[in-house]
């Protein structure tokens, strides 16, 4: 009987692409990331046979703090359950919620020219009260609850409403800082007023501040850690995911989408572009 020589199993690293604006809807038109849209891919990555580590390939300017926290928590829970190390690799940018995602990893790597940081909270909008007056439109709002119409863009700003919003932002901001400090620990190397004032840095400067652990890319670092024969397996979203989310039919038309929904998608795209533009992208 022929005896086959022992064959060493080749290590695998599963790669999750976290690219786009982080948003509850997970709209594909804006490259949206949400825990719902990523759940299947995350589970597939951690269930891959023979996987030795999970790599997060991150390219995100941020977005929803809630979705950032939910995605990170999902990744951390499975990492603990499966006993797998998590590595994050920053591409162009990991800012705000994008950096929150990166902190889900045990180690973070970036390109020297990557944009990293923006640890803070922001809320933006427009005021249209003067515009509607000029064109003769009367705003009519009926509500119960003193603050139900807080910060209505068609009404003058209310100092009390602003104070409430700032209070909410402060709580979210403090939670963001707490998470970064918990995940990065003693690796952080800088005054809190510098690290957590919303600034962004290049990957090289982020390394000096302890926001990342090294400079390098996905392929070089995984080969360094697991050997030159390591197999890098990208875990993609299901093939029909885009069509299901957008309601695209066989004829390429948007099925059942009303003009208001199309406008909403367009506005989402504009908001996403505004986020990317903050970092020159």
CA pair distance 222, 109, nearest whole angstrom: 11
User: Would residue 225 count as lying in a domain?
Assistant: yes
Token couple for 187: 């690796």
User: Would residue 67 count as lying in a domain?
Assistant: yes
Q: Exposure pattern of 207-225 as b/e (b: 16+ CB <10 Å)?
A: bebbbbbebbebeebbeee
- Beta partners for residue 163, in sequence order: none
User: Would residue 143 count as lying in a domain?
Assistant: no
| pLDDT at residue 43, rounded to an integer | 96
| pLDDT at residue 120, rounded to an integer | 81
- The CATH number of the domain where 237 resides is what? 3.90.226.10
Residue 5 confidence class, pLDDT cut points 50, 70, 90? very low
The catalytic residue among 148, 170, 220, 277 is 148
Q: Is 220 a catalytic residue?
A: no
Which tens digits make up the pLDDT trace of 134-166? Answer: 777 777 777 777 666 666 676 777 777 778 877
Q: Is 148 a catalytic residue?
A: yes
**Domain around 50:** 12-118+199-277
| Domain total in the chain | 1
User: Would residue 55 count as lying in a domain?
Assistant: yes
User: Would residue 272 count as lying in a domain?
Assistant: yes
CA pair distance 206, 189, nearest whole angstrom: 9
Q: Which of 67, 73, 42, 53 is nearest to 12 (CA)?
A: 53
Task: Give the chain's mean pLDDT.
Answer: 81
User: Would residue 2 count as lying in a domain?
Assistant: no
pTM here?
0.79
| pLDDT at residue 96, rounded to an integer | 94
| pLDDT at residue 73, rounded to an integer | 97
Would you say residue 46 has pLDDT above 90? Answer: yes
Query: CA triplet 60, 65, 66: central angle to 5 degrees?
Result: 120
User: Would residue 251 count as lying in a domain?
Assistant: yes
The catalytic residue among 60, 68, 96, 114 is 96
Please check whether residue 88 is in contact with residue 108, taking contact to mean a CB–CB distance below 8 angstroms.
yes
User: Would residue 70 count as lying in a domain?
Assistant: yes
Least confident of 24-33, 40-49, 190-199: 24-33
């Amino acid at each position: 009987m022929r005896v086959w020589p022992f064959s060493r199993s080749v290590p695998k690293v599963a790669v999750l692409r976290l690219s786009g604006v982080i948003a509850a809807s997970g709209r594909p038109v804006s490259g949206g990331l949400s825990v719902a849209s990523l759940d299947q891919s995350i589970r597939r990555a951690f269930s891959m046979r023979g996987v030795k580590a999970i790599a997060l390939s991150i390219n995100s300017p941020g977005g929803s703090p809630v979705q950032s926290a939910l995605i990170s928590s999902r990744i951390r829970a499975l990492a603990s359950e499966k006993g797998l190390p998590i590595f994050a690799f920053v591409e162009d940018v990991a800012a705000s919620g994008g950096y929150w995602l990166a902190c889900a990893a045990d180690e973070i790597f970036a390109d020297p020219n990557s944009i990293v940081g923006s640890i803070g909270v922001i809320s933006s909008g427009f005021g249209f009260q003067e515009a509607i007056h000029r064109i003769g439109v009367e705003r009519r709002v009926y509500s119960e609850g003193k603050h139900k119409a807080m910060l209505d863009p068609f009404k003058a700003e209310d100092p009390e409403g602003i104070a409430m919003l700032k209070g909410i932002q402060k709580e979210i901001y403090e939670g963001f800082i707490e998470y970064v400090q918990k995940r990065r620990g003693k690796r952080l190397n800088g005054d809190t007023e510098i690290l957590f004032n919303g600034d962004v840095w290049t990957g090289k400067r982020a390394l000096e501040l302890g926001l990342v652990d090294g400079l390098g890319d996905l392929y070089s670092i995984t080969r360094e850690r697991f050997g030159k024969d390591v197999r890098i397996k990208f875990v993609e979203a299901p093939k029909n995911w885009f069509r299901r989310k957008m309601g695209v039919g066989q004829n390429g038309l948007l099925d059942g989408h009303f003009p208001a929904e199309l406008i909403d998608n367009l506005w989402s795209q504009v908001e996403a572009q505004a986020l990317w533009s903050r970092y020159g992208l």
